[in-house]
Amino acid sequence: MLLDMDGTLLDKYFDDFFWQHLLPEKYAEKNEITFGMAKKILFKKYKKHEATLNWTDIDFWSQEVDIDIPALKEQIKHLIEVHPHVEDFLTMLKRHKKHLYLVTNAHYKVLDMKLKKTKLGKYFNAAITSFEIGHPKEELAFWKKVQKQIGFEKEQTLLIDDTEAVLRTARRFGIRYIVLKSIPSSKTGTQEISSDFPAIKDYRELMVLDSNH
């Protein structure tokens, strides 16, 4: 089983607050501009690098905005939270002796910080990042390399992610069981659900998961 981290297992509020509020605030202060102008500048930068390795590379963003991004994230790590019933779900999977892999676009520094805060690492056989693989999850090459690395069977694998672009790529690669986590952030509610994928709001919906998947 392949599970995404941000928005899927963890509440995306931490990330949304950081990129949409805290960083623009600090960028505005540093450059002596308004918060609105800072957001406009930063959101343009975000858009340019979306779905690339730069997108979640906090070292890249530290250079890009001349602000220590890892240190700034540390200041709000208390906002990192696990979605409701995630640990019950993971416990159930381990009880059924499932092989669990965390597959994330998150930078390894952010991954380390979040696993230390949440203690979720104990449930996984391994965590695989885009930086290790060399491609974001939105690219087919990511899934090809991950399959080669851990040897999963496409026909027997379930992937849960909150990003439809990632799910579409995984489906093109041939992963059979694909589920959309439809509430990535506790503060924004349900995202608009595509008819392309089955979706869950809460992990209790999967607590009766077929043990063959």
pLDDT band at 210 (very low <50, low <70, confident <90, very high): very low
Per-residue model confidence as pLDDT tens digits over 158-199: 999 999 999 999 999 999 999 999 999 998 766 666 668 999
d(CA 140, CA 173): 6
Q: Are 128 and 145 within 8 A, CB to CB? A: no
Q: For 98, which DSSP code?
A: -
The pLDDT tens digits for 115-160 are: 999 999 999 999 999 999 999 999 999 999 999 999 999 999 999 9
Question: What pLDDT digit, counting tens, does each position of 13-48 carry?
Answer: 999 999 999 999 999 999 999 999 999 999 999 999
| CATH superfamily, domain at 2-11+81-206 | HAD superfamily/HAD-like (3.40.50.1000)
Q: What pTM was computed for the model?
A: 0.92
**Whether the predicted pLDDT of 80 surpasses 70:** yes
Question: Per the structure block, which two tokens stand in for 204?
Answer: 């209790």
What are the structural domain ranges in the chain? 2-11+81-206, 13-78
Average pLDDT over residues 69-94: 96
